Amino acid sequence: MGNCWPKPVENLPTTTNTRTTSPARNNDDGKATKTRTSAAPADQGGGAAAVPPSGQIVTPDLKMFTLAELKSATRNFRPDTVLGEGGFGRVFKGFIDEKTYAPSKVGIGMAVAVKKSNPDSEQGLKEWQAEVKFLGKFSHPNLVKLIGYCWEERQFLLVYEYMQKGSLESHLFRKGAGEPIPWDIRMKIAIGAARGLAFLHTTEKQVIYRDFKASNILLDGEFNAKLSDFGLAKSGPSDGNSHVTTKVVGTYGYAAPEYMATGHLYVKSDVYGFGVVLLEIIMGLRVLDLNRPSGQANLVDWAKPSLPDKRKLRKLIDPRLQGQYPSKAAYGTAQLILNCLEPDPKCRPSMEEVLDTLEQINGIQMKPKSVKAETNHLRHYDHRPPHRTYHGSGGARGNATGSRQNNSPKVVRSY
């Protein structure tokens, strides 16, 4: 394979008992340490059952797969196993044994998502290292679980837990996505994503996610949200500094204006991105779409002036919801979005404050207008008490609106 490797990831906790070295880990003196090759215990692999809600920093116990094992798990990376594709490369669905992590037959054992680097990708190794560095270190119910990795024949692969319902992007924007997500599920997703981001921001060494967007929010079978794709994650400022100065990368539309203009990356630059995604969630539209009418291509520029006005806000809410949402909660969400989109990062709330606000908003329940009108009618004529109705149900069946944005400088990823 040769020895001409770029500088590996630094400052990862190390493990022993191995026969080979990996560019995933390095000591402070630059000498490569040996990497664990034995399989991790089942309860530390694909599931998050043992992880406390607050999350924790863990010593990596990642499985080092061979390329042959991952070829077997994915049926030699067959095209019909592809889950998605991004700047790093393609993501394939595979199956491994729950206890040994050995490859297994289709439908047997544990489903996994295998991200395989594109040989022509300039960002492959660097992002692969960042994934191992951050996801190998943190464990949280709202972060996708990294099970293991592989580097062989100048190919870099990562193995994650499989997320049954794919990305938030696929449910909000893609045509043929099926029934639209109800309001209460949208709030559940927003809260889960906020918890994951708040955890990253409050670790001892703050982590700036830097690429918060709908395609990086993955959903399990119960619509629990988990953040994925840590290839652009960055350690936060230290030594009393307020920001990190770095090369501008990410996805246009989600990146904070101060970062785009100066390269100064703040922890609250992530908060801006969260505000953009929250706007997408309530409107059901992509942040950028050049196929929309003039003046509406940029969702933030178009919607921001209308968010403080309750009447105008009603016209912005995703029509597929058919009014099945509490108007007070929608207005509270709009105000939170405005706070997150403040031009000055100092004026934005922290992610902990965002999470608190979202949880309060989620507690607001109000009957749909049609039911309210019916109960008011009954009150007027026979004074019967109003019926109790289930909040957050329904939504018209139909295709998702909005089209895929092909003018972004960065390819949207699924993992």
Q: Note whether 109 and 178 are same-domain residues.
A: no
Question: Strand pairing of 207-208 and 234-235?
Answer: antiparallel
Instruction: Give the strand pairing for 82-85 and 89-96.
Output: antiparallel
Does 402 map to a domain? Answer: no
Does 191 share its domain with 255?
Answer: yes
Same-domain check for residues 265 and 147: no
* Cβ atoms of residues 134 and 209 within 8 Å: no
Show which of 161, 193, 211 is a domain's final residue: 161
**Whether pLDDT at 362 is above 50:** yes
310 and 218: one domain?
A: yes
Work out the pLDDT band at 120, boundaries 50, 70, 90.
Answer: low
- Position 364, amino acid: I
CATH number where 329 lies: 1.10.510.10
387 band by pLDDT with thresholds 50, 70 and 90: very low
Domain boundary among 108, 137, 161: 161
What is the DSSP-derived secondary structure letter of residue 317?
S
- 264, 319: one domain: yes
- The residues, any chain, with a CB within 8 Å of residue 65's CB and separated by 6 or more, are 101, 148, 149, 150, 157, 159
Please tell me the distance from the alpha carbon of residue 84 to that of residue 70, in angstroms, as a whole number. 17
Q: Do 189 and 291 share a domain, yes or no? A: yes
Residue 412 belongs to a domain: no
Note whether 274 and 256 are same-domain residues.
yes
Distance CA 69, CA 85 (A): 21
Same domain, 186 and 308: yes
* Choice among 184, 211, 289, 318 that is catalytic: 211
180 is a domain residue: yes
- 144 and 184: one domain? no
Provide the 3-class DSSP secondary structure of residue 260. Answer: helix
Domain end call among 107, 138, 161: 161
pLDDT band, very low/low/confident/very high, at 132 (cuts 50, 70, 90): confident
Residue-level pLDDT at 124: 67
Is 223 a domain residue? yes
CATH number of the domain where residue 142 is located:
3.30.200.20
Q: Which residues of 56-94 are buried (b: 16+ CB within 10 A; e: fewer)?
A: eeeebbbbbbeeebbbbbbbebeeebebbbbbbbbbbbb
Strands 264-265 and 225-227: unpaired
pLDDT digits (tens, 9 = 90+) for 6-39: 333 333 333 333 333 444 444 333 333 333 333 3
Q: Would you give the DSSP letter of residue 239?
A: T
- 138 vs 11, 143, 169, 234, CA distance in Å? 14, 8, 24, 14
Helix 327-340 to helix 351-362 angle (10° resolution) is: 170
Residue 225 pairs in a beta bridge with 219
179 and 308 belong to one structural domain: yes
- Residue 118 shares a structural domain with residue 173: no
Mean pLDDT of the 70-76 span = 94
Residue 84: pLDDT band by 50, 70, 90 thresholds?
A: confident
For 65, the domain range is 42-161
Q: What's the rounded Cα separation, in Å, for the pair 94 and 271?
A: 34
Annotated active-site residue 211? The verdict is yes
Please report whether residue 59 resides in a domain: yes
Annotated binding-site residue? 312: no
Per-residue DSSP letters for 101-129? Answer: --B--TTSSEEEEEEEE-TT-TTHHHHHH
pLDDT in tens, 171-217: 999 876 678 999 999 999 999 999 999 999 998 889 999 999 999 99
Residues with Cβ within 8 Å of 83's Cβ and at least 6 positions away in sequence, in order, are 91, 92, 93, 113, 166, 414, 415
Quote the number of domains for the chain. Answer: 2
Indicate whether 306 pLDDT > 80.
yes
By the 8 A CB rule, do 149 and 205 touch? no
Residue 389 · residue 370 · CB < 8 Å: no
Q: How far apart are CA 335 and CA 331, in angstroms?
A: 6
Looking at the domain assignment, is residue 374 inside a domain?
no
Could you tell me if 172 and 157 lie in one domain? no
Q: Looking at the domain assignment, is residue 1 inside a domain?
A: no
Task: Note whether residue 216 is domain-resident.
Answer: yes
Structure tokens at 376: 């008011």
Mean pLDDT on 221-236: 92
Taking all residues of the chain, what is their mean pLDDT, rounded to a whole number? 78
